[in-house]
Amino acid sequence: MLPYVIAVVVIAILLGIAEASFIVTGSAFLGVVTVLLWVAYIVVLVPTVMKGLYYVFTMYSMFDGGNNLTGKEAAERSENLMKGHRAEYFVLMLSFIGWGILASITFGIGYLWLIPYMQTTLVIFYENLAGTPKEVQGEVVEETVE
């Protein structure tokens, strides 16, 4: 994963340099370089994001696994949980875009409600994937995931 992140950063830096040079000089060669760097940036960014989606629940796995779970084990558990569910998670996160725009319009005050709502949604998504029983007022409630 780290080589992808490094490649994204290097390409982004080169892209910024090429675009700035293109704006100043107007050279056609720099225009082609800029387009090629944008393509390279997207080609490297997409697999990086797709691989990163495997590890979104590493922190939840650490908390759920107790003190005997190492970071690597938690990352592996998160990866196993997310296999076949990355698209669901991606769509779930896309569903918050409108709420984020509305929260931004209120100069950030809306984030006081949006962030807890998002975190609660993510915890419920994790619990559905992990099959963790839920407690409601002291009683354990078993839910089936379809």
Give CA–CA dist 139/17, Å, rounded: 59
Is the CB of residue 36 less than 8 Å from the CB of residue 15? no
Stretch (H or E) spanning 111: helix 111-130
Give CA–CA dist 130/63, Å, rounded: 12
pLDDT at 137: 47
pLDDT at 58: 85
Residue 84 phi/psi, 5-degree rounding, is 85, 0
**pLDDT tens for residues 110-140?**
999 999 999 999 988 888 888 866 655 455 5
CA atoms within 13 Å, Cβ hemisphere of 83: 5
Give CA–CA dist 16/11, Å, rounded: 9
pLDDT at 127: 87
Residues of the chain with pLDDT under 50: 137
pTM of the model: 0.66
pLDDT at 141: 54
Give CA–CA dist 93/86, Å, rounded: 11
Is the CB of residue 65 less than 8 Å from the CB of residue 43? no
Residue type, 127: E
| Structure token digits, residue 117 | 């709502």
| Structure token digits, residue 10 | 């290097």
pLDDT at 38: 81
Is the CB of residue 36 less than 8 Å from the CB of residue 29? no
pLDDT at 117: 93
